[in-house]
Amino acid sequence: MGEQAHASEAIRARIEHIYPSLRPAERAVAQYLHDHADAAELTVHQLAQATHSSEPTVIRLSRKLGFSGYRELRYVLRHPAAEHHPPFDPLEGFDLNPWDQLEDIPGKAVGGARSMLDDLLASLDRPSLRKAVGMLATAGLIDIIGVENSIVPATDLCTKLSYLGLHCRIATDAYLQQINAGHLTDQDVAIAFSYSGSSRDTIKALQLAKSQGTHTIAVTNASNAPIRNWADITLLAGSGERTIYGNAIFSRISHIALVDMLYMGVILSDYGRFAARLDRSGRYIQDRGFTA
Protein backbone atom coordinates (compact mmCIF):
# COMPACT_ATOMS: atom_id res chain seq x y z
CA MET A 1 0.00 0.00 0.00
CA GLY A 2 2.80 2.38 0.93
CA GLU A 3 4.64 1.59 -2.31
CA GLN A 4 1.49 2.21 -4.34
CA ALA A 5 0.98 5.58 -2.62
CA HIS A 6 4.55 6.52 -3.48
CA ALA A 7 4.01 5.69 -7.14
CA SER A 8 0.76 7.67 -7.16
CA GLU A 9 2.59 10.67 -5.73
CA ALA A 10 5.29 10.46 -8.42
CA ILE A 11 2.75 10.29 -11.24
CA ARG A 12 0.73 13.14 -9.73
CA ALA A 13 3.87 15.27 -9.69
CA ARG A 14 4.38 14.64 -13.39
CA ILE A 15 0.76 15.45 -14.15
CA GLU A 16 0.88 18.70 -12.19
CA HIS A 17 4.01 19.73 -14.06
CA ILE A 18 2.51 19.48 -17.55
CA TYR A 19 -1.14 20.17 -16.71
CA PRO A 20 -1.16 23.89 -17.67
CA SER A 21 -0.09 23.09 -21.24
CA LEU A 22 -2.50 20.19 -21.86
CA ARG A 23 -5.48 20.30 -24.18
CA PRO A 24 -8.94 20.06 -22.54
CA ALA A 25 -9.38 16.38 -23.44
CA GLU A 26 -5.90 15.56 -22.14
CA ARG A 27 -6.65 17.45 -18.94
CA ALA A 28 -9.70 15.27 -18.35
CA VAL A 29 -7.58 12.11 -18.55
CA ALA A 30 -4.81 13.67 -16.45
CA GLN A 31 -7.30 14.74 -13.77
CA TYR A 32 -8.76 11.24 -13.62
CA LEU A 33 -5.32 9.65 -13.23
CA HIS A 34 -4.45 12.25 -10.60
CA ASP A 35 -7.59 11.67 -8.53
CA HIS A 36 -8.23 7.92 -8.87
CA ALA A 37 -5.81 5.46 -7.32
CA ASP A 38 -7.56 2.59 -9.11
CA ALA A 39 -7.03 4.06 -12.59
CA ALA A 40 -4.34 1.45 -13.23
CA GLU A 41 -7.04 -1.22 -13.39
CA LEU A 42 -8.61 0.36 -16.47
CA THR A 43 -7.74 -0.53 -20.03
CA VAL A 44 -7.01 2.26 -22.47
CA HIS A 45 -10.55 1.91 -23.84
CA GLN A 46 -12.11 2.01 -20.36
CA LEU A 47 -10.06 5.05 -19.35
CA ALA A 48 -11.08 6.86 -22.52
CA GLN A 49 -14.74 6.10 -21.77
CA ALA A 50 -14.44 7.15 -18.12
CA THR A 51 -13.00 10.52 -19.14
CA HIS A 52 -15.23 11.08 -22.20
CA SER A 53 -12.12 11.30 -24.35
CA SER A 54 -10.54 8.95 -26.88
CA GLU A 55 -7.89 6.24 -26.94
CA PRO A 56 -5.45 8.44 -28.94
CA THR A 57 -5.85 11.13 -26.27
CA VAL A 58 -4.95 8.65 -23.51
CA ILE A 59 -1.90 7.48 -25.45
CA ARG A 60 -0.81 11.03 -26.23
CA LEU A 61 -1.03 12.00 -22.56
CA SER A 62 0.96 8.91 -21.57
CA ARG A 63 3.76 10.00 -23.89
CA LYS A 64 3.69 13.54 -22.54
CA LEU A 65 4.19 12.02 -19.09
CA GLY A 66 7.39 10.43 -20.34
CA PHE A 67 6.18 6.92 -21.14
CA SER A 68 6.20 5.03 -24.43
CA GLY A 69 2.44 4.61 -24.22
CA TYR A 70 -0.44 3.79 -21.91
CA ARG A 71 0.76 0.22 -21.43
CA GLU A 72 4.00 1.41 -19.81
CA LEU A 73 2.20 4.05 -17.74
CA ARG A 74 -0.34 1.49 -16.53
CA TYR A 75 2.41 -0.98 -15.66
CA VAL A 76 4.26 1.62 -13.58
CA LEU A 77 1.04 2.60 -11.82
CA ARG A 78 0.50 -1.04 -10.88
CA HIS A 79 4.19 -1.86 -10.20
CA PRO A 80 5.92 1.31 -8.97
CA ALA A 81 9.17 -0.52 -8.19
CA ALA A 82 9.54 -1.20 -11.92
CA GLU A 83 9.95 2.47 -12.71
CA HIS A 84 13.54 3.37 -13.51
CA HIS A 85 12.95 7.11 -13.46
CA PRO A 86 12.97 7.73 -17.23
CA PRO A 87 13.68 11.30 -18.35
CA PHE A 88 10.63 13.45 -17.83
CA ASP A 89 10.84 14.45 -21.47
CA PRO A 90 13.60 14.76 -24.07
CA LEU A 91 14.37 18.38 -23.16
CA GLU A 92 14.46 18.15 -19.37
CA GLY A 93 11.10 19.70 -18.61
CA PHE A 94 10.65 21.69 -21.79
CA ASP A 95 7.16 20.58 -22.74
CA LEU A 96 7.64 20.04 -26.46
CA ASN A 97 7.17 16.72 -28.20
CA PRO A 98 7.52 15.48 -31.80
CA TRP A 99 3.78 14.89 -32.06
CA ASP A 100 2.79 18.41 -30.97
CA GLN A 101 1.16 20.85 -33.38
CA LEU A 102 2.22 24.45 -33.97
CA GLU A 103 -1.17 25.52 -32.63
CA ASP A 104 -0.19 23.99 -29.26
CA ILE A 105 2.86 26.21 -28.81
CA PRO A 106 1.21 29.45 -27.59
CA GLY A 107 -0.58 27.58 -24.81
CA LYS A 108 2.57 25.69 -23.87
CA ALA A 109 4.73 28.81 -23.82
CA VAL A 110 2.27 30.85 -21.77
CA GLY A 111 1.55 27.91 -19.49
CA GLY A 112 5.25 27.39 -18.85
CA ALA A 113 5.77 31.08 -18.14
CA ARG A 114 2.80 31.21 -15.78
CA SER A 115 4.03 28.15 -13.92
CA MET A 116 7.48 29.65 -13.41
CA LEU A 117 6.08 32.96 -12.19
CA ASP A 118 3.83 31.17 -9.70
CA ASP A 119 6.87 29.19 -8.56
CA LEU A 120 8.84 32.42 -8.10
CA LEU A 121 6.10 33.96 -5.98
CA ALA A 122 5.96 30.88 -3.76
CA SER A 123 9.74 30.47 -3.42
CA LEU A 124 10.99 34.02 -2.91
CA ASP A 125 11.97 34.96 0.63
CA ARG A 126 10.74 38.49 1.30
CA PRO A 127 13.27 39.38 4.04
CA SER A 128 16.09 38.37 1.67
CA LEU A 129 14.57 40.55 -1.04
CA ARG A 130 14.49 43.49 1.38
CA LYS A 131 18.17 42.99 2.27
CA ALA A 132 19.16 42.75 -1.39
CA VAL A 133 17.30 45.96 -2.19
CA GLY A 134 19.12 47.72 0.64
CA MET A 135 22.49 46.53 -0.64
CA LEU A 136 21.81 47.70 -4.19
CA ALA A 137 20.43 51.08 -3.15
CA THR A 138 23.55 51.96 -1.15
CA ALA A 139 26.30 50.30 -3.24
CA GLY A 140 29.30 52.21 -4.50
CA LEU A 141 29.39 50.03 -7.61
CA ILE A 142 27.03 47.24 -8.64
CA ASP A 143 28.83 44.53 -10.61
CA ILE A 144 26.37 42.26 -12.42
CA ILE A 145 27.35 38.72 -13.41
CA GLY A 146 25.73 36.15 -15.70
CA VAL A 147 26.42 34.03 -18.77
CA GLU A 148 24.34 32.56 -21.61
CA ASN A 149 20.59 32.84 -20.80
CA SER A 150 21.38 34.63 -17.56
CA ILE A 151 22.93 37.54 -19.43
CA VAL A 152 19.37 38.63 -20.30
CA PRO A 153 18.16 39.42 -16.74
CA ALA A 154 21.66 40.64 -15.86
CA THR A 155 21.57 43.22 -18.65
CA ASP A 156 18.01 44.18 -17.77
CA LEU A 157 19.01 44.89 -14.16
CA CYS A 158 21.95 47.02 -15.30
CA THR A 159 19.67 49.05 -17.57
CA LYS A 160 17.01 49.62 -14.92
CA LEU A 161 19.40 50.59 -12.13
CA SER A 162 21.33 52.91 -14.47
CA TYR A 163 18.09 54.85 -15.02
CA LEU A 164 18.04 55.36 -11.24
CA GLY A 165 21.50 56.91 -11.32
CA LEU A 166 23.21 53.94 -9.69
CA HIS A 167 26.71 53.02 -10.82
CA CYS A 168 26.33 49.62 -12.54
CA ARG A 169 28.63 47.50 -14.64
CA ILE A 170 28.19 44.35 -16.70
CA ALA A 171 30.65 42.62 -19.01
CA THR A 172 29.28 40.18 -21.56
CA ASP A 173 32.55 38.24 -21.60
CA ALA A 174 32.96 35.71 -18.75
CA TYR A 175 36.71 36.40 -18.45
CA LEU A 176 36.09 40.13 -18.08
CA GLN A 177 33.42 39.43 -15.47
CA GLN A 178 36.02 37.61 -13.40
CA ILE A 179 38.64 40.33 -13.89
CA ASN A 180 36.14 43.01 -12.91
CA ALA A 181 35.05 41.04 -9.85
CA GLY A 182 38.64 40.78 -8.67
CA HIS A 183 38.92 44.58 -8.51
CA LEU A 184 35.81 45.23 -6.41
CA THR A 185 35.93 46.62 -2.87
CA ASP A 186 33.95 46.26 0.34
CA GLN A 187 31.89 49.27 -0.73
CA ASP A 188 30.55 47.43 -3.77
CA VAL A 189 27.93 44.77 -4.51
CA ALA A 190 28.20 41.83 -6.90
CA ILE A 191 24.97 40.16 -8.00
CA ALA A 192 25.13 36.93 -10.01
CA PHE A 193 22.35 35.25 -12.02
CA SER A 194 22.49 31.48 -12.54
CA TYR A 195 19.42 29.28 -13.04
CA SER A 196 21.28 26.12 -12.02
CA GLY A 197 23.51 27.85 -9.49
CA SER A 198 26.41 25.75 -10.72
CA SER A 199 27.82 27.68 -13.69
CA ARG A 200 31.60 27.51 -13.29
CA ASP A 201 32.31 30.96 -14.76
CA THR A 202 29.59 32.67 -12.73
CA ILE A 203 30.65 31.02 -9.49
CA LYS A 204 34.30 31.93 -10.06
CA ALA A 205 33.38 35.58 -10.59
CA LEU A 206 31.31 35.64 -7.40
CA GLN A 207 34.13 33.90 -5.51
CA LEU A 208 36.55 36.60 -6.63
CA ALA A 209 34.13 39.32 -5.57
CA LYS A 210 33.66 37.69 -2.19
CA SER A 211 37.43 37.45 -1.70
CA GLN A 212 37.62 41.26 -1.97
CA GLY A 213 35.13 41.71 0.86
CA THR A 214 32.39 42.67 -1.60
CA HIS A 215 28.74 42.18 -0.65
CA THR A 216 27.36 39.35 -2.79
CA ILE A 217 23.90 38.34 -4.02
CA ALA A 218 22.99 35.18 -5.96
CA VAL A 219 19.81 34.68 -7.99
CA THR A 220 19.13 31.00 -8.70
CA ASN A 221 16.40 28.37 -8.94
CA ALA A 222 18.33 25.62 -7.16
CA SER A 223 17.85 25.51 -3.39
CA ASN A 224 21.12 23.64 -2.78
CA ALA A 225 23.18 25.33 -5.47
CA PRO A 226 26.93 25.67 -4.87
CA ILE A 227 26.77 29.38 -5.73
CA ARG A 228 25.05 29.94 -2.38
CA ASN A 229 28.36 29.27 -0.62
CA TRP A 230 29.69 32.62 -1.87
CA ALA A 231 26.51 34.68 -1.53
CA ASP A 232 25.62 36.85 1.45
CA ILE A 233 22.04 36.76 0.17
CA THR A 234 20.41 34.15 -2.06
CA LEU A 235 17.23 35.02 -3.91
CA LEU A 236 15.48 31.78 -4.82
CA ALA A 237 13.50 32.40 -8.01
CA GLY A 238 11.78 29.02 -8.08
CA SER A 239 12.08 25.41 -7.06
CA GLY A 240 13.21 23.93 -10.38
CA GLU A 241 16.73 22.54 -10.55
CA ARG A 242 17.01 21.25 -14.12
CA THR A 243 20.42 22.22 -15.47
CA ILE A 244 20.06 21.18 -19.11
CA TYR A 245 17.88 22.97 -21.63
CA GLY A 246 14.28 22.58 -20.69
CA ASN A 247 12.82 24.73 -17.95
CA ALA A 248 16.21 26.46 -17.97
CA ILE A 249 15.34 28.20 -21.24
CA PHE A 250 12.39 29.81 -19.46
CA SER A 251 14.57 30.92 -16.52
CA ARG A 252 14.79 34.45 -17.86
CA ILE A 253 11.04 34.86 -17.27
CA SER A 254 11.20 34.44 -13.50
CA HIS A 255 14.57 36.17 -13.28
CA ILE A 256 13.35 39.22 -15.20
CA ALA A 257 10.31 39.36 -12.93
CA LEU A 258 12.72 39.30 -9.98
CA VAL A 259 14.72 42.11 -11.60
CA ASP A 260 11.50 44.15 -11.71
CA MET A 261 10.99 43.46 -8.00
CA LEU A 262 14.52 44.67 -7.19
CA TYR A 263 14.04 47.76 -9.36
CA MET A 264 10.72 48.65 -7.75
CA GLY A 265 12.15 47.92 -4.32
CA VAL A 266 15.07 50.29 -4.85
CA ILE A 267 12.70 53.07 -5.94
CA LEU A 268 10.51 52.46 -2.91
CA SER A 269 13.52 52.57 -0.56
CA ASP A 270 13.86 56.33 -1.20
CA TYR A 271 10.93 57.21 -3.41
CA GLY A 272 11.52 60.94 -3.74
CA ARG A 273 15.21 60.64 -4.62
CA PHE A 274 14.91 57.78 -7.09
CA ALA A 275 11.73 59.09 -8.72
CA ALA A 276 13.56 62.37 -9.36
CA ARG A 277 16.53 60.51 -10.83
CA LEU A 278 14.27 58.47 -13.08
CA ASP A 279 12.60 61.65 -14.31
CA ARG A 280 16.02 63.19 -14.89
CA SER A 281 17.16 60.19 -16.94
CA GLY A 282 14.01 60.41 -19.01
CA ARG A 283 14.65 64.06 -19.83
CA TYR A 284 18.14 63.26 -21.12
CA ILE A 285 16.70 61.03 -23.82
CA GLN A 286 13.32 62.63 -24.38
CA ASP A 287 14.23 63.33 -28.02
CA ARG A 288 14.92 59.64 -28.73
CA GLY A 289 11.76 59.29 -30.83
CA PHE A 290 12.49 59.34 -34.56
CA THR A 291 10.80 61.98 -36.67
CA ALA A 292 10.99 62.11 -40.46
- Same domain? For 124 and 213 the reply is yes
Q: Which pLDDT score, from 0 to 100, does residue 198 have? A: 85
pTM: 0.68
* Residue at 290 is within a domain: no
| Beta bridge mates, 233 | 217
| Beta bridge mates, 236 | 220
- Same domain? For 264 and 134 the reply is yes
- Same domain? For 279 and 157 the reply is yes
- Higher confidence at residue 289 or residue 157? 157
Which of 56, 77, 75 lies closest to 14 in space, CA to CA? 77
Q: Which pLDDT score, from 0 to 100, does residue 132 have? A: 98
Q: Which pLDDT score, from 0 to 100, does residue 229 have? A: 94
* Residue at 11 is within a domain: yes
| Beta bridge mates, 144 | 170, 191
Could you tell me the residue range of the domain that residue 21 belongs to? 2-86
Type of residue at 15: I
- Condensed to tens digits (0 to 9), the pLDDT of residues 85-141 reads 544 444 545 566 666 788 888 887 888 788 889 889 988 999 999 999 999 999 999
* Residue at 201 is within a domain: yes
Type of residue at 183: H
Mean pLDDT of 42-54: 92
Instruction: Determine what percent of the chain is predicted with pLDDT higher than 70.
Output: 86
- Same domain? For 165 and 278 the reply is yes
- Same domain? For 73 and 124 the reply is no
- Condensed to tens digits (0 to 9), the pLDDT of residues 223-250 reads 888 999 999 999 999 875 444 444 556 6
* Residue at 106 is within a domain: no
Give CA–CA dist 52/25, Å, rounded: 8
Instruction: Determine what percent of the chain is predicted with pLDDT higher than 90.
Output: 52
Q: Which pLDDT score, from 0 to 100, does residue 15 have? A: 86
DSSP 130: H
- Same domain? For 205 and 260 the reply is yes
Which of 238, 259, 258, 198 lies closest to 17 in space, CA to CA? 238
The greatest distance separating any two alpha carbons of the chain, rounded to the nearest whole angstrom, comes to 75
Distance in angstroms between the alpha carbons of the first and the last residue of the chain: 75
- Same domain? For 56 and 149 the reply is no
Please check the confidence at residue 251 and state whether its pLDDT lies above 90: no
Mean pLDDT of 151-155: 95
Please check the confidence at residue 285 and state whether its pLDDT lies above 80: yes
Give CA–CA dist 25/241, Å, rounded: 30
Q: What phi and psi values does residue 151 have, to the nearest 5 degrees?
A: -70, -20
Give CA–CA dist 61/75, Å, rounded: 15
Please tell me the total count of domains within the chain: 2
Q: Which pLDDT score, from 0 to 100, does residue 8 have? A: 63
All residues at 6 or more sequence positions from 84 whose CB lies less than 8 Å from its CB, including other chains: none
Which of 120, 181, 197 lies closest to 145 in space, CA to CA? 181
Q: Tell me which of 27-41, 84-98, 226-240, 252-266 is least confident.
A: 84-98
All residues at 6 or more sequence positions from 78 whose CB lies less than 8 Å from its CB, including other chains: 40, 41
* Residue at 91 is within a domain: no
- Same domain? For 126 and 199 the reply is yes
- Same domain? For 124 and 82 the reply is no
- Higher confidence at residue 209 or residue 37? 209
DSSP-derived 3-state class of residue 235: strand
Please check the confidence at residue 264 and state whether its pLDDT lies above 50: yes
Q: Which pLDDT score, from 0 to 100, does residue 289 have? A: 74
Question: CATH number, domain at 151?
Answer: 3.40.50.10490
Within 10 Å of residue 132's Cβ, how many Cβ atoms? 27
* Residue at 99 is within a domain: no
* pLDDT band of 3, cuts 50, 70, 90: very low
Angle, CA 133 vertex, CA 203 and CA 147 arms, to 5°: 30
- Condensed to tens digits (0 to 9), the pLDDT of residues 160-215 reads 999 999 999 999 999 999 999 999 999 999 999 998 888 899 999 999 999 999 99
* Residue at 94 is within a domain: no
